[in-house]
Amino acid sequence: MEPIKTHNGLVYPLPKRNVDTDQIIPKQFLKRIERAGFGQFLFYNWRFDENDKPRADFTLNQPKYEGVSVLISGDNFGCGSSREHAPWALLDYGFKVIIAPSFADIFYNNTTKNGILSIKLSEEQIDYLLNQAEKNSYTLTIDLENQKVYDKLGFEAAFDIPAYNKHMLLNGLDEIGITLSYADRITQFEQTH
């Protein structure tokens, strides 16, 4: 995984509440066994019509959102089934940061384990960010070390993150990587017991 210290990225606004994992990655695309390649199916039923053609009315298909890496959405993002494919699809598409008022617990943990920073901000802050991203090409800077989100217009917000999650993301570690960081101590313990 890539470490996240500071991320500056183009914002995509998705002003929807209760975006569930089946909307993020529909069940018919869960047959792959590797983590890569799911981005093409992200929000598939919203992005494509019944003939698999891009829908002009779904904003992620608009050229102004090409290269997005920060997703802003509504309450309870990632609810529904606990499929890990949802963060895989978001990451494979290019999203490194997701900002919402709240997340489903399992989804929130899965994003961290897969190298995506999920940030909780207030409804008022989310409304401001959505408004900016819907009007213009809008970028945000996320400073994980100092736990701040800011733009060039004067907006700044602090966010909380569990210390364990912050350590994982700052160092680009998943749980296996954290375990391997203790390899010397594990070997020492095995030799003495």
Helix axes 105-113, 163-171, angle to 10 degrees: 30
CATH superfamily, region 6-192: Aconitase, domain 4 (3.20.19.10)
Query: What is the reported pLDDT for 70?
Result: 98
The mean pLDDT of the chain is 94
* Residue range 176-184: mean pLDDT, rounded: 76
Instruction: Work out the pLDDT band at 148, boundaries 50, 70, 90.
Output: very high
Nearest alpha carbon to residue 13 among 55, 53, 64, 54: 64
Query: What is the reported pLDDT for 188?
Result: 84
- Using CB atoms within 10 Å of the CB of residue 29, give its burial: 0 to 12 exposed, 13 to 18 middle, 19+ buried: middle
> Is residue 38 a contact partner of residue 32, using CB atoms and an 8 Å limit?
yes
Using one digit for the tens of pLDDT, what is the confidence trace for 98-112?
999 999 999 999 999
Using one digit for the tens of pLDDT, what is the confidence trace for 37-71?
999 999 999 999 999 999 999 999 999 999 999 99
Q: Are strands 117-120 and 6-14 parallel, antiparallel or unpaired?
A: unpaired
Distance (Å, rounded) from C-alpha 170 to C-alpha 3? 5
> Is residue 39 a contact partner of residue 85, using CB atoms and an 8 Å limit?
no
Nearest alpha carbon to residue 89 among 7, 176, 8, 30: 30
H runs (alpha helix) in the chain: 21-24, 44-47, 85-93, 105-113, 123-135, 163-171, 175-180, 183-192
The model carries a pTM of: 0.92
**Unique residue bearing structure tokens 């940061």:** 97
Instruction: Work out the pLDDT band at 32, boundaries 50, 70, 90.
Output: confident
**pLDDT of 12 higher than 90:** yes
Helix %, strand %, coil % of the chain (to 5):
40, 20, 40
| Every domain of the chain and the residues it spans | 6-192
